[in-house]
Amino acid sequence: MNSLGVFTSGGDSPGMNAAIRAVVRSGLRNNMKIFGIRHGYEGMIDGDIFEMNGCDVANIISRGGTILRTARSKRFMTKQGREKAYENLNKYGIEGIIGIGGDGTFHGLKDMINETSFKTIGLPGTIDNDLFGTEATIGYDTACNTAMEAIDKIKDTASSHERIFLVEVMGRHAGFIGLETGIATGAEDVLIPETPTDFKALVKVLEKRIREGKKSAIVVVAEGDEMGGAFDAEREIKKLSNLKTRVTILGHIQRGGSPTMRDRVLATRLGYHAVEALLEGKSGVMVGICKGSVVFIPIEDTFNKKKIVEQDEIKMMPFLL
C-alpha cells in the first residue's frame, strides 16, 4: 500500500488529534503518502482532500477537537453521494482509509467495504464509550475527567446554597459517563438509560439524607435516561417533594479540552496499529483495546452488538448512597 486517507467524522472527542498524528507519522515512516480529508464524509464528497506531512501534525497531540474538522453527512447516505466520494478518493490515488469516529462513522465505513475495494480501518473516537469491541474509546477518559471536575465545583455551590443539583452529562444511548462520574464524585444517585428510574425511591433517599443533616446533594443524570434529561428529572422530583433543586447541563464542554494522558496514549496506540493493520492487508475492522491488548473487531459488530456498562459498578451504587 502506497497511500492512505484519514478523516474524523461525527461528534469530536479529545484525542482525535493524537490519533491523526499517529496515523500520519506511522504512514510516513513506512514511505506512504498520507492524505487528510477535512469535514469527514462531506469533505470526501466535496474533494476537500490534501496531502499531509510531519509538520501538519506537529504539536497537536495535546490539542482537543480535530484539525481535520468534522461533520455529519446526509449526502453520504445516498448512493450518488458515496459514488462522488469514491471518485475523489480514486483521483488522489488513495488505497486505504482510516476513519476516526463513532457509530455513524462506522456505518459509512461499512458501506465503503460493501461497495468498493478500498481497505478500511475504523478507530473508536467518541466520548460515549459505547462501541462494542473495545474497553475504551478515544475521548472517554477526558470527558469523564471534565465532568468530574465540573461536578466537584458544582458541589461547592450546592453546599453553600443547601440545594440538590441535578447535573446532566452526555450519554444519549449509554450511561458510561454518568455512572463513572457519579461514583467518582460521590453522587447520591445516577440516572442512566441502562437502569429503570424510581423517583419515589430517589426522593426517599434525598429526604432521608436531609433528615440526617446533609444540606446538599448531587444527582447525575445521563441525557438519555429513559425518563428524560435533568429538567425532566427535576419535574418528577418536584411532583413528589418540596426539595430545593437546581439543574446544570454540562453539554459540549465534555467534548472539548486537552486530552488526558490516557487518551493521548490510547489514540496514539490505536493510530499506529491502524496503519500496521492496513500494511498487513487487514480491512473492515475497528482497532480496539481488550484486557490491555490491541484487538481487531469486524466493523459491523461495533454497531450490531451492544456494549453494556459494568454491572459491578451498577451493583455498587446502592451501597454507596
Catalytic positions: 128
Three-state DSSP string of 172-230: CCCCHHHHHHHHHHCCCEEECCCCCCCHHHHHHHHHHHHHCCCCCEEEEEECCCCCCCH
Look-up of cell digits 472539548 = 256
Cell of 59: 504539536
Which DSSP letter does residue 78 get?
S
CA distance 6 to 267: 14
Conformation bin of residue 15: beta by default, left when phi > 0, alpha when psi is -120 to 50:
left
User: Is the separation of the CB atoms in 76 and 42 below 8 Å?
Assistant: yes
Can you say how many angstroms the Cα of residue 271 is from the centroid of all Cα atoms in its chain? 16
What are the counts of helices (DSSP H) followed by strands (DSSP E) for the chain?
11, 11
Which DSSP letter does residue 247 get?
E
Q: CA angle, 176 as apex, 174 and 177 as ends, to 5°?
A: 110
Amino acid of residue 237: I
- For residue 5, what is the enclosing H or E element? strand 3-8
Give the count of alpha carbons within 13 A of 27, CB side only: 31
